Chains A and B, each alone.
Chain A
């Protein structure tokens, strides 16, 4: 499979479902008695994987490296008091490359520094950042210039940029090979239909041969981000997300959550009438560990031409102003 060629890793394991990739990979390594440090903004699949692993989870504030360091210090204290147990407790850190809920990047260089200092293994979920971030789309490791060998495992879903079904895990053979026997979603499940695997291979080949797609994507993402900021100025709508991310979240500032809900829905409907499709981001609110903020998701891609971007932004501006001005019922 060309995955490991793409990210220059030793081995890759392919799953047939994006959700199952992450939810099976984490319990294969972390068992009862281990400790996992996870960001509060991780997505639901990771949360299910953490729950299935039965380890102790320590949550740190989203993208807050100091909070993580504080938790690591506490753990180090415990280890000093009890070196025997410490020698058996495996430590992991789970972060996402590009967070789905807030559309911002993780601070990878600082996390790698913490990894070496406190001897914690790091797993990165690159579902949204693979094929998006980095000069040739290889993910956050390329973007930040971190050596891929140092990252213990990268998990990604093929359902986003690659537009196929399934997911994969890449890393060193030492780590990834273990999943062939102990990853539940791999051993006890059917493999990906050859049609979709071929589609994914083709997509990777295109990614390799047409690096100009990424320059176009980055240009579109940047212009969208700045354009949205300008378009939503003066209304209660705000843009959330990093400049590099083609997915932006639009939130509404109001103390009452019902009004927020209503206004976001009205924005989606209004834009639908003007032939622009955006969507409400949907979460399973009761099951999430930390309820995420309500938002609308606005996405762009590398194939959008400049006129389309301009048209979309102007429509969004008009719609937002109209929705903001309507009185609440």
Chain B
């Protein structure tokens, strides 16, 4: 790809742009005379020529002081905190400069972009929500005085004197705001959701309270399925293999894993997943949500601390809550914040018991599905090693989609999979099946097998589903002898970069990194969600719009998930329609479009 814009390889601890974010505690820390400062880290990266260990300049010194019996004496520091950090960063960048990745290429990684928006737009968002609320209350008033009939379902007459089931504001939101744009969500589909999907047309006579099917079906370009590698197909080797396995193994065991055991395809799958990820062992579950929510309690108990990212998924939050551990949240991908929380936690301990925490678990995701941003994995691994914590990486969206051979975010950064204590992921996105897995050392997986509630109270994976995953994973690994897997991964990478750069050139605000296949286009106003959803359907494109409460109130967005099955023509069509409609509605808020004005974007 020929381009004149060079993108830097993202470094851990890039402090140069962060002067304005120095907090009071950081400034105080910088004046401390001791030579214990946060730059003592080391991270091992996998390269073409073996594993290379990068260390900060005083890492050896730190270790020597720590383990020796001499007291740590205050030394006069030759400069203050800031210059020390700057020196170390420049030495670090030199060290990282020419490291080649596993395939022998110099990696270029795009950094995460979150273009901040002006306060005026945020204010207008709040005003538009207020207008919607005023109209909602007005309609409620009309309902009360009898001018309007309620179309919502009601409580039974016999049960009218029971305590009301729903909070009045919640039901107001559902009735008056969600119902008006309901035709944009929950669309029934009539074919396999690959790159194109057929949806059943429906019309509504009464503003989305009820729908009638017209009987026709429309084919639309599908940008809403997490079909990253294009395995959502009903023909081909995967589908044939899973159909055959139904005859041999049936659909289910009607019993739990500990009572009657699991099927042979699942056993094979667990070994294959361990091989794919590069870990010792893996365990598979039949639902991704349950993997997170039921296994986090097995790993941490009330004596531990969980530090999770701000934008973690609901399943992780539920799992953390059920575990009973203390929970702290750090700002999205902000390494300074994470470090500050770690230092405070270790120094102060558990406030309830006044004792040190027994275990600290950092929970992050590979790609965040609402922001499209990639986590800063080498920095977190360096921090984890320095403070001796554990790391839980949820690769729901990134497994199969990132990395030169599809091994996920760990391979994308070139880190060692053995550094991540627990690698979790789901099969729903890139593998075209359903379920989740957890990979780690033998001790961790044996513990999970014994103590996870999913083994005692629910069924194992269905054999055809397991077979589908075995086939698709073998294709990605290249085990079937073709280069189909490599082709798909390359196609996805090309699609993501092409699409994103074009969008930014047009002037849309797109969050996240250029390498991720999840593209959130910011629309900001809630009313835009309804308009965009409907208009895109008319232009034969299926797009997912999200608003409050899944995102913040002022940040409604349209999210596009790219796939290896999308061809260049489909992408061009989608770009053209988005460009056109963006001009009509004025959704092009980016102020950085001039940076991209002159670059030629080749496919």
Q: In the docked arrangement, what's the CA distance between A173 and B166, Å?
A: 14
Residues on B with C-beta less than 8 A from A89 are: 163
Query: Is A90 an interface residue, CB under 8 A from the partner?
Result: yes
Are B458 and A283 interface neighbours, CB within 8 A?
no
Are B459 and A159 interface neighbours, CB within 8 A?
yes
Contact with B along A22-48 (1 / 0, CB 8 A): 010000010000000000000111001
Query: Is A165 an interface residue, CB under 8 A from the partner?
Result: yes
Q: In the docked arrangement, what's the CA distance between A284 and B449, Å?
A: 11
List which B179-195 residues lie within 8 A (CB) of chain A. Answer: 186
Known: A91-B163, A184-B314. A192 touches B457 (CB 8 A): no
B384 to chain A, nearest CB (A): 27
Are A121 and B162 interface neighbours, CB within 8 A?
yes
Are A159 and B287 interface neighbours, CB within 8 A?
no
Residues on A with C-beta less than 8 A from B288 are: 189-190
Known: A44-B456, A119-B162. A163 touches B462 (CB 8 A): no
A250 to chain B, nearest CB (A): 14
Query: Is A6 an interface residue, CB under 8 A from the partner?
Result: no
Residues on B with C-beta less than 8 A from A188 are: 289, 313-315
Query: Is B16 an interface residue, CB under 8 A from the partner?
Result: no
* Residue of B170, B246, B293, B434 touching A190 (CB-CB under 8 A): B434
Are A193 and B433 interface neighbours, CB within 8 A?
yes
Q: In the docked arrangement, what's the CA distance between A282 and B457, Å?
A: 8
Are A189 and B289 interface neighbours, CB within 8 A?
yes
Size class of the contact patch on chain A: 35 or more
B222 to chain A, nearest CB (A): 15
Query: Is B251 an interface residue, CB under 8 A from the partner?
Result: yes
B535 to chain A, nearest CB (A): 24
* Residue of A16, A164, A282 touching B251 (CB-CB under 8 A): A164
Are A280 and B458 interface neighbours, CB within 8 A?
no
Closest B-chain residue to A184, C-beta based?
A: B314
Known: A87-B163, A174-B153, A190-B428. A282 touches B318 (CB 8 A): no
> Of B161, B254, B464, B465, which is in contact with the most chain A CB atoms at under 10 Å from its CB?
B254
* Residue of B156, B178, B255, B458 touching A17 (CB-CB under 8 A): B458
Query: Is A178 an interface residue, CB under 8 A from the partner?
Result: yes
Are B174 and A181 interface neighbours, CB within 8 A?
yes
List which B457-480 residues lie within 8 A (CB) of chain A. Answer: 457-459, 462, 464-465
Q: In the docked arrangement, what's the CA distance between A89 and B167, Å?
A: 11
Query: Is B585 an interface residue, CB under 8 A from the partner?
Result: no
Are A282 and B153 interface neighbours, CB within 8 A?
no
Query: Is A52 an interface residue, CB under 8 A from the partner?
Result: yes
Are B174 and A189 interface neighbours, CB within 8 A?
no
Q: In the docked arrangement, what's the CA distance between A279 and B434, Å?
A: 28
B544 to chain A, nearest CB (A): 13
Known: A184-B318, A189-B287. A119 touches B161 (CB 8 A): yes
Are A282 and B256 interface neighbours, CB within 8 A?
yes
Are B314 and A195 interface neighbours, CB within 8 A?
no
B9 to chain A, nearest CB (A): 34
A141 to chain B, nearest CB (A): 16
Q: In the docked arrangement, what's the CA distance between A51 and B451, Å?
A: 18
Are A283 and B428 interface neighbours, CB within 8 A?
no
Contact with A along B284-296 (1 / 0, CB 8 A): 0011111001100
A41 to chain B, nearest CB (A): 14
* Residue of B153, B254, B256, B453 touching A163 (CB-CB under 8 A): B254
Query: Is A227 an interface residue, CB under 8 A from the partner?
Result: no
Closest A-chain residue to B258, C-beta based?
A: A282
> Of A163, A185, A195, A196, which is in contact with the most chain B CB atoms at under 10 Å from its CB?
A195
Query: Is B260 an interface residue, CB under 8 A from the partner?
Result: yes
* Residue of B258, B287, B318, B322 touching A16 (CB-CB under 8 A): B287
Query: Is B165 an interface residue, CB under 8 A from the partner?
Result: yes
23 contacts between A and B (CB under 8 A): A10-B153, A17-B287, A17-B289, A20-B287, A20-B290, A44-B457, A119-B161, A121-B162, A159-B254, A159-B458, A163-B252, A165-B462, A174-B156, A178-B166, A182-B170, A184-B314, A187-B314, A188-B314, A193-B465, A196-B462, A279-B259, A282-B258, A283-B456
